[in-house]
Amino acid sequence: MKVQDIFKTKAVKEIETEILDIYFDNEKHGMHNETEVYTIRRLLSIRKNILNDMFVLDDKYKQLLYDFNEALIGQLKEMRKRTLALYQATKDTCQYGSLEVDGKCLLGYAYSTIHPVQTMRAKKIWAVLNGCLDNFMPLYDIEGAGSFTIRSWDTQIDTENEMLYGHDEWDNHNEGLDREMTKDMHLIYDFHNLFSHMEFSIFDLLWVRNFNIEIKVECDYHTYNTKDYCDDLNWGKCDFYD
């Protein structure tokens, strides 16, 4: 079944329409109450299961999955590079305090122009999924499509592979997919996180090629030298200063 036909099925149309009806019917209140937020989250989860159940991995989808994984890797590396550069540029301004620089990569805010389904319903659902309309996916709000943090008290900075795979060796996070067809793909952990632990269906991810990067700096400044303060209290060596 073509992806266009999948999104025309009664089950998908009804649940997506219900999600949007709940959202827009209550938008006039200015914010959604706890029950509405919970209902939309549950419906997004059900929608994901319906769509994933209709997914059959073939060579075409494998290529799209490879392309998405590679695009995500490229943006995560760029995010890490920019986070490191910002940390180096600001660390001297926070000598007597703690510095934390958080980089986060997000899926593109705009709906993918190469997705084969270009209906208004699909574009509005994407806005619900990616947080443009509200926060219905707390884990995505925290981690995005991948994150990288540097702290002044860290003794070691994660390598690129540690950021991508969770350790320094290549891996293949292909849980939930055809293991044989994907055995050579080196799918990164952040793809697995989006696919397995968030409410994105596989059909939401395959055509994403654009991303947004956010980097935040937090410096907690003290008027005293943290090392001297620890020594005065006889704490010995403290592990939260350079």
pLDDT at 242: 45
- Strand 146-151 relative to strand 97-107, pairing: antiparallel
- Strand 211-221 relative to strand 146-151, pairing: unpaired
162: tokens are 């540690």
Q: pLDDT tens string for the chain (242 positions)?
A: 899 999 999 999 999 999 999 998 877 666 668 888 999 999 999 999 999 999 999 999 999 999 999 999 999 999 999 999 999 999 888 777 789 999 999 999 999 999 999 999 999 999 999 998 888 999 999 999 999 999 988 888 999 999 999 888 889 999 999 999 999 999 999 999 999 999 999 999 999 999 999 999 998 876 655 555 555 555 444 454 44
Among residues 210, 228, 202, the alpha carbon closest in space to that of 74 is found at 210
Answer yes or no: are the C-beta atoms of 61 and 55 closer than 8 Å. Answer: yes
**What is the pTM (predicted TM-score) of this model?**
0.87
Residue range 68-102, pLDDT digits in tens = 999 999 999 999 999 999 999 998 887 777 899 99
54: tokens are 């209709």
Residue type at 232? D
| Burial class of residue 96, CB neighbours in 10 A (0-12, 13-18, 19+) | middle
pLDDT at 96: 72
